[in-house]
Amino acid sequence: MNFTNSLLKHIDKLVGTLRSEEQIQEILKRKFTKKEYKVFVAFEEGKTIEEIKTIVKDDEEKINEHYKVAKKKLNQEKIKKELVSYE
């Protein structure tokens, strides 16, 4: 999965350049709950709702909620600042 492309797709206003893939992954693991992270990654990898249901063992409504919250978190200034490299 390419974290950079996924983040650029979901972040509204981004000032600066995103960090490396490994750094982005570590930041997201820290900032998201385990389920939010798993659901976000699964959606971005193009998995179906049925596949995601088996991964996180939740219903469709909860899965969509986790995804929505994850996308919302990506647009918080505090998290955006961490994701950006100021070099």
H helix runs in 11-76, sequence order: 21-31, 34-44, 49-56, 60-74
Q: Which pTM does this prediction carry?
A: 0.92
Which residue shows structure tokens 């997201």? Answer: 28
Residue spans per domain, the chain: 3-10+17-82
**In the prediction, which pLDDT does 87 show?**
62
DSSP readout, 43-59? HHTT--HHHHHHHH---
**In the prediction, which pLDDT does 37 show?**
98
Which pLDDT tens digit goes with each residue over 30-70? 999 999 999 999 999 999 999 999 999 999 999 999 999 99
Q: How far is Cα 46 from Cα 44, in angstroms, rounded to an integer? A: 5
Does the pLDDT value for residue 86 go beyond 90? no
